[in-house]
Chain A
């Protein structure tokens, strides 16, 4: 399979605090990769850098052999909107927009006609079993329903890669499994790569491969040992 994303010697610090200290990572097309590690190990930062949400201090992130670090913010916005899907733990839906409008938003931003965007959005809501919520506001939905809408929004543009940061963190075990199972099934069906950040082994097991981080660096044992010879 071809390489979709390649991060080389990624460094990123928040002020004086380093979050990534030279991470190398590669994601091939259609692959599901889990990034694991304890709190504060830099896994969310790595996801943000790979998704082009955040710039790296040094090192390069290449998407299909193009260094996206050199792109303008608006070019990267467009990339995230069209080629990537992004999913967080919670709070990503616009509270004033209905579920249907939320899901249609990326399409509308891409210039789609409102009617067509609406239709596609409804198809995706239906795929995740929440078609009946299209006209509801996020505030009137359960956490699981909101997250399903968020997944539909992340996938509505049929991206090449989905970036999910603890996507089931705010859900109960069963709902979380259902949502994750649906994500994995759609990803496999469409050959979509998934980068999944989690601190739970059970969630990481949905991936083909696991990458562990510790203190901003790769942790080959995955055991969080401070010293390994």
Chain B
């Protein structure tokens, strides 16, 4: 996911300064990784350089420098493109997990790979349970539920893969370490 496009989208509603952008991002996309301030300012700088946003003013009410940004016409055009563009179905979703299993078999052996998969599954299930608890909370907003659903579906896919991989581990080991 592209942070710059998300920031453009948030700015489409009106001028904001960096701190507001970060807060808005973390609130709207609760299951995403929270943005670091440095990342917000770096991204804004890149967007400004490309002419997609521009500075719209500065307030200085006692605190540090607060520069507001506003989206440009070019920025709106780019945002529009991104929103209609179909994402390439990501082929590497479980890449970290997958890589670890392969490397583990090459470097250490089947036992290490099994232990890793068992531990990984436990971690996944714990997270799945946390996310489900978010959903069943009677105070949960629809936004929270939708965000949790998205993460749950991905974790569930990982879990299925973990399960089948465990059953195939012996064969995989044989293929890789004949």
Contact = CB atoms under 8 A, between A and B. Distances in A.
Interface stretch (A11-19, A63-71, A201-209): A201-209
Contacts of B138: 185
Contact of A206 (B114, B121, B132, B166): B132
Given A223-B118, A223-B166, 8 more contacts: A177-B135, A202-B132, A202-B152, A205-B125, A207-B129, A222-B121, A223-B121, A225-B167
Contact of A205 (B121, B132, B160, B163): B132
Contacts of A224: 163, 166-167
16 contacts: A181-B136, A201-B125, A201-B159, A202-B128, A202-B132, A204-B125, A205-B128, A205-B132, A206-B132, A207-B129, A208-B129, A210-B125, A221-B118, A223-B117, A223-B162, A223-B163
B152 A185 contact: no
A205 B166 contact: no
B173 to A, nearest CB: 14
B166 A225 contact: yes
Contacts of B27: none
B135 A181 contact: yes
A80 B159 CA distance: 35
B171 interface: no
A184 interface: yes
Main SS class of interface, B: helix
Interface of B: 114, 117-118, 121, 125, 128-129, 131-132, 135-136, 138, 152, 156, 159-160, 162-163, 166-167
A141 to B, nearest CB: 25
B108 to A, nearest CB: 16
Closest 3 A-B residue pairs measured CB to CB? A205-B132, A205-B128, A205-B129
A206 B136 contact: yes
A32 to B, nearest CB: 10
B7 to A, nearest CB: 32
A15 B121 CA distance: 36
Nearest to B132: A205
Nearest to A229: B111
Interface in A167-212: 177, 181, 184-185, 201-202, 204-208, 210
Contact of A184 (B118, B131, B136, B156): B136
Contacts of A204: 125
B154 to A, nearest CB: 11
Contacts of B166: 223-225
A224 B168 CA distance: 12
